Structure formats: structure tokens, C-alpha cells
Amino acid sequence: MTHTISFQPLGDSALFIRFGDEISPSIHENIQQFIQKFQVTQPEWLVEIVPAYTSICVHFDLLKVASCTYYGQSITEFLEQYIQEIHQNIGKSNSTDGRLIEVPVVYGGAFGPDLSYVAQYNGMTEEEVIRLHTSSECLVHMLGFSPGFAFMGGMNPTIGTPRKEIPRLAIPAGSVGIAGEQTGVYPVETPGGWQIIGRTPQPFFMPNQLPPTYLQAGDRIRFVAISEEEFSTWGAKS
Amino acid sequence: MTIEVLKPGLQTTVQDKGRYGLQQYGVIVSGAMDTISYQIGNLLLQQEDYASLEMTLLGPTLKFHCDTTIAITGGSMAPLLNGVPCPMWRAVMVKCGDVLKFSSAQKGVRSYLAVKGGIQVEHVLNSKSTYLKARIGGHHGRALKSGDRLPISEWSTTAPSTTIDVTNFKLFENDVTIRVLKGTEYESFTEKSLSLFEEATYTISKDADRMGYRLESDAILHLQQPTNMLSEAVTIGTVQVPPSGQPIILMADRQTTGGYPKIAQVASVDLSKLAQLPPYAKIRFKLISLDEAQQLWIKQQKHLNLLALLLN
């Protein structure tokens, strides 16, 4: 199904295209299809696009857009018209499923200091939390906040846990967390309020390659429990 | 052929126009905070947007190990070249062995040092800008330290000696009104909050850095009802309101996405002026229309393009 879009300016040099207001795989699919079509057109005024759960933000070069408008047409009118035309063509191609990627995680202990809290909050054992976290396939909806931080949907909601009241000042790179019904991995050490249940040895931010991130929007993720020994030798074997 | 850092100053980093095209991967933009001063520095040296030094509040002491041409722009840190006042806003030739000393900021908070040929650090992900948090770009991904040596090229050609008058850009104002547009969640705030937002005099807190400016005032902003927003794109100049009710203006090192309601958006034309404000400075917001903001910015850019033509 193709969702209707609406527009909203983000200041004078960016424009939101909104596809809806809830996290859903079909909105995600529309956004991905739109981006594919948009990237083919490569308008010279485009600076970059930033997709999120339900929106795409289009950053544009104001001076270049202004030179594309005709008499009496505002910059916003020009952009909206351009974008509507692309939108009308989505849904006419079959998009491919994203890659399926396994992310190895050591759960609990020093690597997952909040695992016991998550278990207690949901009235289950730590083993059940691990089983449920590794049993569902998650979808990367967007990357944002810090380099390579993947916002995922599709985690089993029964292990959902609210964020911490007071965020930690430093969360180690590779930490796997839960916030509400979302799960994600911290690619670089930053402050953060997610409940940390484990850690992956897989680097998620690789500044020396393009794209510089291990995961991309549209990837499907399965978490796999590994031991601390496997964690320490993980880099060596691959 | 290097610039040697004798004293690093408070926070001196290599910056260019910024790291564009990778926000979809969560990679932040960075880049010069005051883009007008940064661009004029390069214009004076008749070159593209090359990597320059951005100095904050207290400038460095630098020694040149080859002949070259420089241009100092932005806020004034009373630069001395071999102990003699060094002119700003124009190209200046320096000799091998010359020492350039900056003091604390007298006007504005950020000075820029453009060097002919640019500071020659490696490109990392499309840019030479330092991104402190991810420790990439610039000189080893960090602010400069004593003893660092920054690679530059030797240039001994004469440079045009025009001094640029930047009063038109109004970068250093005493009474600072920042023009803003309605933010994406503007309508979600209470009517009282919206009028407070425009009436209040805000103080920039001491926690104002390249990432963002926290603002303080008696006016606490409230939403009509609590919302649980999904994270989505933010940009430079986004004014977001966390649960404390005190706004934060996002600046060059902002994160790529955010989940707080966005009450306003600083008009691009006023971003450089904002970047030159020190902690404890007072500002007021004035709402303008989207069309006005776009026309003001286009006018400012055309003015810069005209400067480029005059200097060539």
C-alpha cells in the first residue's frame, strides 16, 4: 500500500516528507522505495536526505533551488511538486528484502548490567529475556543520534522496558540496549538512557569505509547469544 | 612545511564546511560554527572552502615552519605576528620562523585562521572537519595540543591586500535578536508558552559548546499535553525543548536525529551571529516567515558571492 505524504518545513533549508505517524513495516517500505526513486533523479539542489521511522528529511541548497523556480512559484511549492511526482511513482517496483544479519551478543554480567532489571520488570528470568531477544527478527528502520546507531523495530514487546530515569554518562561501544519496545546497539561510547542487556564484539561504526556503518536501514537483524570466550576471540576468527 | 603549535589555546580544531551526505548513517555534520567568517577567510586567499583552524575563546600560539599566506577572520583575539598586531579580514604573508600569537577573545568567541592551500590533514568521510566525539577528522580527531605539527604547503606569492568590511554581515551585535521560524511542533505548545518564548530574554548557559547552546530564563515552556515523539531529523539551528522546559539550540556538532519537540528553527541568516555569542550572552527570539527567512539567506549568500568576485 502507498501512504499519502504531507510536507512540513524544518527551517528554511530542509523539508520533512511525512508518511504517517506510527512505526510500521509498510511505512518503512514506502520510505525505502521513495529514497530509491529519489536517488535516481539526483537533483543538483539536493544536499542530503535523512530518513526516520515515519519521515524523510530533505536538506536542500536554497540558492540552487531558487534558481530552479519559475516566476511566482515559491521554493516550497517547487519542492513539493517535485517530490509529489516522485511519490506518485513509488509502489510500482518490487523492492527487495533487506539483508539478514546476525549480531553476536554476550548477555548479562558486566557486559549487560541491566539484564536482571529487564527480567525483573517483566516478571521473567534472565534466560527468558535472552531467549525472547534472540528469537525475533528485528528491522532497522533508521540510523541516527550517533554514527551507526540503528533504531530497530520488531523486538518481542513482552521484554519491553522503559528507559532509565537518569541516563548513564558513558555507555561502552557495542552495548545492546532496550528502550520501550525498541532495541539497538551503541556504536560509539556516548551517554545514554537505554537498559543495557549485553554487548557485541562487532564494530558498528567504521570511519574508513563507505557507507561507514555496519547496518543500514532496511537490514533485518537476528541477535545470537555468544559466550565471553567467543567475544574475546571474535575479531580473530573473521 | 608545517605549523607548529606552541600553545593550543582553549579549543582549537581543524574545520571545513562540514561532513555532508552521511547523516542518514548517523554521522554528524560538524564544520565551522561561523560559516561566514570561515568562508571569507578562504575567499581572501582566493581558494575554495579549504580546512582552516577554528579557535574558541582563547587562541593558540603558532609557529610557521615555511613561508605562506594566511587570513584571520571571525571574532577578534588580538592576534600578534612576531609581537606586532596582525591585521584581520585581509591576506597576510608570513615567513618561515614567524610566531602568531592569539589572546583571549575581545569580540565574538570564534576566530578562524585560513592558510593558503588549506591545513592538509586527511579527508575522513568527505571532510577534514574534526568530530571530537567520534575522534575522527582534523588532526587525529582531537583539539590541538602543544607540539602538534600541522602540514601546510609553502607559498611565497604575494596576496591581494584588500581588507574586507564585514559590518554588513552584522556578526557582532550588542542587542542580539535571533530570527526564528516556527518549529515542527510549534503548535503543540501552550499559547502562554508561545508568547513567553517570544517575550523572554534568554541567557546562553555556560554549557554552550559546538554541539548546542542551552538557554536559561524564568520562562518554562510547556506542551499542551505530554507527547512521546519518534526520533526524526534535526538540523543546525533547531530549537528543541526537553522536559525541563528550557530550550536548547542545536549547533554544528549536533546529533543527526532527536526526539524532543522542536519549538522553533533559527533562520540560516542568523546562525553565524549566534555562533559568535559567548556564554552568558542574552538573546531574544523574533518569529519571521519562511519566505522572509529564505530571501534573507539568499541575499546573504549573494553578498558572499559578490565578495568572491571582487577578490578575484
In B, which residues are within 8 Å of A13 by CB distance? 235, 268, 297
* Angle in degrees, 0-180, between the axes of helices A25-41 and A75-88, rounded to the nearest 10: 110
- Return d(Cα B176, Cα B215) in angstroms, integer: 14
B15: helix, coil or strand? strand
Burial of A117 (0-12, 13-18, 19+ CB in 10 A): middle
Are A76 and B290 inside 8 Å of each other by CB? yes
- In angstroms, what CA-CA distances link A98 with A215, B175, B257? 10, 53, 23
Mean pLDDT, chain A, rounded, equals: 91
Compare all CA atoms of chain A with the CA of B298 and give the residue at the minimum distance. A63
**Of B193, B182, B197, B199, residue with least CA distance to B223:** B193
In B, which residues are within 8 Å of A211 by CB distance? 22, 25
Are B24 and A149 inside 8 Å of each other by CB? no
Best to test chain A binding among B19, B20, B27, B130 (most A CBs inside 10 Å): B27
- Give how far B46 is from chain A: nearest CA, Å: 21
Mean pLDDT of A204-211: 90
Percent of chain A with pLDDT strictly greater than 90: 71
Nearest to A147 among B25, B290, B298 (CB): B25
For position A96, what pLDDT does the model report? 57
Are B184 and A8 inside 8 Å of each other by CB? yes
- Return d(Cα B9, Cα B145) in angstroms, integer: 8
In A, which residues are within 8 Å of B231 by CB distance? 52-53, 142, 144-145, 151
Provide the grid cell at B311. Answer: 577578490
**Of B30, B254, B255, residue with least CA distance to A143:** B255
Largest distance between two CA atoms of chain B: 64
- Give how far A27 is from chain B: nearest CA, Å: 14
DSSP letter string over A3-37?
A: PP-EEEESTTSEEEEE--SS--HHHHHHHHHHHHH
For position B76, what pLDDT does the model report? 96
For position B113, what pLDDT does the model report? 98
Best to test chain A binding among B124, B232, B301 (most A CBs inside 10 Å): B232
Are A213 and B237 inside 8 Å of each other by CB? no
Q: Between A and B, how many CB-CB pairs are < 8 A?
A: 138
- Give how far B25 is from chain A: nearest CA, Å: 5
- Give how far A216 is from chain B: nearest CA, Å: 7
**pLDDT value at A123 more than 80:** yes
For position A200, what pLDDT does the model report? 97
Tell me the pLDDT of chain B (312 aa) as tens digits.
Answer: 999 999 999 999 999 999 999 999 999 999 999 999 999 999 999 999 999 999 999 999 999 999 999 999 999 999 999 999 999 999 999 999 999 999 999 999 999 999 999 999 999 999 999 998 889 999 999 999 999 999 999 887 766 778 888 888 889 987 799 999 999 999 999 999 999 999 999 999 998 899 999 999 999 999 999 877 888 999 999 999 998 999 999 999 999 999 899 999 999 999 999 999 999 999 999 999 999 999 999 999 999 999 998 887
In B, which residues are within 8 Å of A205 by CB distance? 134
Best to test chain B binding among A7, A50, A213 (most B CBs inside 10 Å): A50
Q: Judge whether B57 and B10 are in contact, CB under 8 Å.
A: yes
For position A89, what pLDDT does the model report? 82
Beta strands B61-64 and B99-101, pairing class: antiparallel
- CA B124 from chain centre, in angstroms, equals 20
For position A94, what pLDDT does the model report? 53
pLDDT digits (tens, 9 = 90+) for A151-164: 998 899 999 999 88
In B, which residues are within 8 Å of A66 by CB distance? 294, 298
Are A188 and B134 inside 8 Å of each other by CB? yes
**pLDDT value at A203 more than 80:** yes
Beta strands A175-179 and B257-258, pairing class: unpaired
Burial of B223 (0-12, 13-18, 19+ CB in 10 A): middle
Compare all CA atoms of chain B with the CA of A182 and give the residue at the minimum distance. B230
- In angstroms, what CA-CA distances link B238 with A10, B225, B261? 8, 21, 10
For position A144, what pLDDT does the model report? 87
How much is the CA Rg of chain A, to the nearest whole Å?
20
Task: Please count the CA atoms within 13 angstroms of the CA of B245 that sit on its side-chain side.
Answer: 17
Q: Which residues of B touch A (CB under 8 A)?
A: 20-28, 124-125, 133-134, 136, 181, 184, 230-235, 237-238, 255-258, 262, 265-268, 290-291, 293-294, 297-298, 301-302
**pLDDT value at A235 more than 90:** no
For position A95, what pLDDT does the model report? 55
In B, which residues are within 8 Å of A55 by CB distance? 232-233
Task: Please count the CA atoms within 13 angstroms of the CA of B195 that sit on its side-chain side.
Answer: 2
Neighbours of B198 (CB within 10 A): 13
- Return d(Cα B41, Cα B54) in angstroms, integer: 11
ipTM over 0.85: yes
- Give how far A217 is from chain B: nearest CA, Å: 9
Question: Which DSSP state fits A146?
Answer: S
- Return d(Cα B214, Cα B248) in angstroms, integer: 4
**pLDDT value at A93 more than 70:** no
- Return d(Cα A131, Cα A36) in angstroms, integer: 36
In B, which residues are within 8 Å of A76 by CB distance? 290
- Give how far B154 is from chain A: nearest CA, Å: 29
- Return d(Cα A151, Cα A221) in angstroms, integer: 11
For position B161, what pLDDT does the model report? 75
Q: Judge whether B92 and B70 are in contact, CB under 8 Å.
A: yes
